[in-house]
Structure 1
């Protein structure tokens, strides 16, 4: 579904991402992890259209999308969430998601269809479909769910989930992780999940890619991550730990 080849991003003399390559199969959840400054967000934002690659290729369904604006990438079937939710607070919860359904899809979407898609997305993430429900009633976990609902309402085939666990307690983290897996199965959506909270992410991803200083240093199964010496050194610390003991933060 997605093929990234030698993806590179430079800001002046600083190379944030250096020749990163990977592929993504339909139906997968791929975890993209690494320490702060490793290039995760830059890679993510190039796929989403927020940043133009300096060089390299991003192919979605066999067509090059690198450098396209975010709206075109969204219309081609790639939705995204944001690390910091910024809903329209003067709109209701339902109106926020209806807006995403209207403008996040290519072609004409009728009012009735947009409402139906918005209600389906809200039900999928466990938020009220009551047209009177206000955004102000939502806590941190609810705002993360609203982000997911807005992305789902654009009818993506590929979802880019940006740190969906930030600000949540342990129970909410586990619920959010299970929700992403549920969305994958119910909507047949492929997912790339960028996340700092490694222990929770590893419960649901099929594969993981680890970046460090803009370069890919590991790609493999979740349980292999905590056994890789280089990953342990740069991400988990100097002592080898078991997967079940992987730190939550």
Structure 2
């Protein structure tokens, strides 16, 4: 579904992403991890059109999208959530999601946007009541709203940016299960940026690790969690729990 080759992004003399290549297969959940400042958000911003790559190719379903405007990319089937939710507080929950559907799908049909909003809200477990206020949502509800807005755009590929941030342990498990449900029931491919390794390793099919803008490891969760370089630059004391989570995922999958 997605083929990235030689992706580079420079800001003046600073190279944020340096010659990164990877592929994402249809129906896969790819975990994208690494320390703060490793280039994860920069890659998301290039995939979604917020930033124009300095060099490299991004093929989505065989078509080059590198440098395309965000509205063209989202209309083509790449949706995203944001790490920090910023809903329109003067709009209801339903109106926030319908607005995303109206512009994101590029159809400019209010009826279709409303239908997409109802489906998306039902999928994430938020009320479809058209007057429910955003102000009543806690951290978990706002993360669900981010997912609903992205789903309403009708994505084939979802870029999920730190869906677990600010959640307690139970809410984290719910959010992770939601991403798996979105893949399994809607057939949406997912790239998931996350720092909570114990949860991510139980859900993803593969993991890619960045450090200082370069890819340093890629593979099955169990292999990446045991990679000495990944442990050194990122996992550290979380290595044991990450390895245990990866092993548990393999056991459940019968691998």
Indicate the TM-score class for this superposition, using the shorter chain for normalisation.
over 0.9
1:240 positional shift? 6.0
| C-alpha distance in 2 between matches for 1:5 and 1:89 | 40
CA contact under 8 A between 2:197 and 2:238: conserved in structure 1? no
> What SS class does the counterpart of residue 165 from structure 2 fall into?
coil
| Superposed counterparts of 1:103-122, under 5 Å | 103-109=103-109, 111-122=110-121
CA contact under 8 A between 2:29 and 2:204: conserved in structure 1? yes
1:211 corresponds to 2:210: yes
Which TM-score applies when normalising by structure 2?
0.93
Q: 1:152 maps to what in 2?
A: 151
RMSD: 1.4
Bigger proportion of residues as helix: 2
1:45 corresponds to 2:36: no
1:31 corresponds to 2:18: no
CA contact under 8 A between 2:217 and 2:230: conserved in structure 1? yes
| C-alpha distance in 1 between matches for 2:139 and 2:102 | 25
> What SS class does the counterpart of residue 159 from structure 2 fall into?
strand
Q: 1:124 maps to what in 2?
A: 123
> What SS class does the counterpart of residue 202 from structure 2 fall into?
coil
| C-alpha distance in 2 between matches for 1:72 and 1:27 | 22
| C-alpha distance in 2 between matches for 1:63 and 1:16 | 25
Note the residue ranges of structure 2 that are not aligned, 5 or more in a row: 247-255
Q: 1:71 maps to what in 2?
A: 71
Q: 2:178 maps to what in 1?
A: 179
Aligned length: 245
| C-alpha distance in 1 between matches for 2:238 and 2:146 | 37
Q: 1:162 maps to what in 2?
A: 161
| C-alpha distance in 2 between matches for 1:170 and 1:155 | 29
Per-residue CA distance 1:165-196 (angstroms, 9 max, x = gap): 11111111111000000011111100000111
| C-alpha distance in 1 between matches for 2:189 and 2:225 | 24
> What SS class does the counterpart of residue 86 from structure 2 fall into?
coil
| Superposed counterparts of 1:130-145, under 5 Å | 130-145=129-144
| C-alpha distance in 2 between matches for 1:239 and 1:140 | 24
1:231 positional shift? 0.5
Note the residue ranges of structure 1 that are not aligned, 5 or more in a row: none
Q: 1:81 maps to what in 2?
A: 81
Compared CA separation, residues 134 and 211, structure 1 to 2 (3 A): same
1:6 positional shift? 0.5
1:69 positional shift? 1.1
1:224 positional shift? 1.2
1:191 corresponds to 2:211: no
| C-alpha distance in 2 between matches for 1:245 and 1:115 | 39
Q: 1:6 maps to what in 2?
A: 6
Compared CA separation, residues 240 and 155, structure 1 to 2 (3 A): closer
